[in-house]
Structure 1
Amino acid sequence: MSVTSERRAAASALPRFGRMLRRALVVELRIYANIGRFIARRPAIAPGAVGFSTHKPVFTVLMIFIVLSAVEIPIVDLVVHRWPAVRIAFLVLGIWGVTWMFGLLCAHLMRPVTVGPDGIRVQQGLELDVHLTWDDIASVARRKVVDEPKSLRIVETDVARTLALRMHDETSITIELERPTVVRLPGEPPKGGDQEITALRLWVDDPAGFLDEVRRHL
């Protein structure tokens, strides 16, 4: 590789690294913001909207990870207590890990899918936030779909481009759009960034209640 090519590669890598660093910082701040929402009991639901939880399929798994991470802290501390520097480092890392997992759980609890006068807002995890207005939506149906593990988030066919927001490889609601609509996904293209879709599949814990609320607006 020539010197010029190396310089071009380095120049293109720097902005990407900057975006990755900024994204990591935003995610970290959202961990604590969601813990704050949990303590204040203020879920991210707009005035006039109704929230529908999506956390049931992952709740048990997250709780197991949180408990195991918390139990691990005193065990590791007992092993390394003779080396103060190592002990402090592992203690900080352990507490941060438990806090991070608890913040992720809070994000699932405090960022539900919402249905309101402005449309449907799909929140998932720490980053994803897709808002569809009622003008964007053609139909909403209860339809359970189980995909293969590790399937792509964007499912393309000859007639549709569907965003599948799964929980344990499953979705329970299908939203057909009036026209191709651009939504912004976390991450870099081709998997993230602005994506044009014609349908969206998602999971809600109470699909019947979700459809009842949709019928009030659509």
Structure 2
Amino acid sequence: MTDLASQRPPATGIRPLQRIASLGRAAWRAELGIWRSLYRWLFRRPRVPRGASGFSYHSPVLTILVIFIVLSAVEIPIIDLIVHRWPWVRIPLLALGIWGVTWMVGLLLSFLTRPHAVGPDGIRARYGADVDVDLPWETVASVEKSRDVTEKAPKVRDEPHGRTLALRMQNETNVLVTLEKPVRTRLGDTEAEIDAVRLWVDDLDGFMTAVRTHIP
């Protein structure tokens, strides 16, 4: 007789619960990253390896972030004035508004305190507090100027030079680092094996000059 229990489909609730748990972990990591960025900025501790040079990448989003920060800050007293007579509404909205401004400032500071780095040990490619890819020189095949503008593309995709991680700013990158051998890096809850990295650098010429001091 056929075991009917073995033919039952897996519980449909497991996948949504896993998705919710993954989103919760991502939100927690983002929150920790924001507060760590505030700490690093306050105590002037940018995350740049010893002997390395840091290179910013936030200029494409700087204006947008500043506008959001200013509008969020202006919104707090306006809303407070509107709901001033209802403390049970005013206090939660005031706390939420202050948290929102702090979060936006922390997001900007995550870019400022975690720049790309080029040093004796290799390249560190960053994207705020979310991504930190270590690329030792022995794994780097080439570094070249390569402007790429791509909208709605996955963070990791197949390109002619292999699996490529793209750290885009406003959908753009201007540097391509190809690797001698694949490198594993953590992206959120998972690890990805990549053959190349695309990234954006504000000072492209300075970045390439720093690279040439280590790669003839």
TM-score where L is the length of structure 1: 0.88
CA-CA distance at 1:61 after TM superposition: 0.6
- Partner residue, 2:60: 57
- Partner residue, 1:24: 27
Select which of 166, 169, 176 maps to 1:167: 169
**RMSD between superposed Cα atoms in Å:** 2.1
CA-CA distance at 1:132 after TM superposition: 0.8
Identity of aligned residues (%): 50
SS at match of 2:11: helix
Name segments (4+ residues, structure 1) moved above 3 Å: 4-20
Find out whether 1:197 has 2:200 as its counterpart: no
Matches of residues 201-212 of structure 1 in structure 2 within 5 Å?
201-212=198-209
Matches of residues 19-168 of structure 1 in structure 2 within 5 Å?
19-147=22-150, 149-157=151-159, 160-168=162-170
Flag the 1:137–1:104 CA change in 2: closer, same or farther, 3 A.
same
Find out whether 1:216 has 2:202 as its counterpart: no
The Cα offsets for residues 69-97 of structure 1, whole Å up to 9 and x where unpaired, read as 00000111111111111000100000000
Moved more, 37-46 or 63-72: 37-46
SS at match of 1:43: coil
SS at match of 2:138: coil
The Cα offsets for residues 134-178 of structure 1, whole Å up to 9 and x where unpaired, read as 11100001122222x212222314652211111111111111111
**Which AA in structure 2 matches 1:153?**
K
8 Å contact from structure 2 (residues 125, 132) kept in 1: yes
User: Separation in 1 of the partners of 2:40 and 2:160?
Assistant: 42
User: Separation in 2 of the partners of 1:16 and 1:6?
Assistant: 19
Flag the 1:155–1:14 CA change in 2: closer, same or farther, 3 A.
closer
Which runs of 5 or more structure 2 residues have no equivalent in the other structure?
A: none
Which runs of 5 or more structure 1 residues have no equivalent in the other structure?
A: 188-192
8 Å contact from structure 2 (residues 161, 178) kept in 1: no
SS at match of 2:137: coil
Aligned residue pair count: 210
SS at match of 1:135: helix
**Which AA in structure 1 matches 2:119?**
G
SS at match of 1:143: strand
8 Å contact from structure 2 (residues 173, 199) kept in 1: yes
TM-score where L is the length of structure 2: 0.89
8 Å contact from structure 2 (residues 147, 175) kept in 1: yes
8 Å contact from structure 2 (residues 161, 196) kept in 1: no
Flag the 1:95–1:18 CA change in 2: closer, same or farther, 3 A.
same
User: Separation in 1 of the partners of 2:119 and 2:195?
Assistant: 21
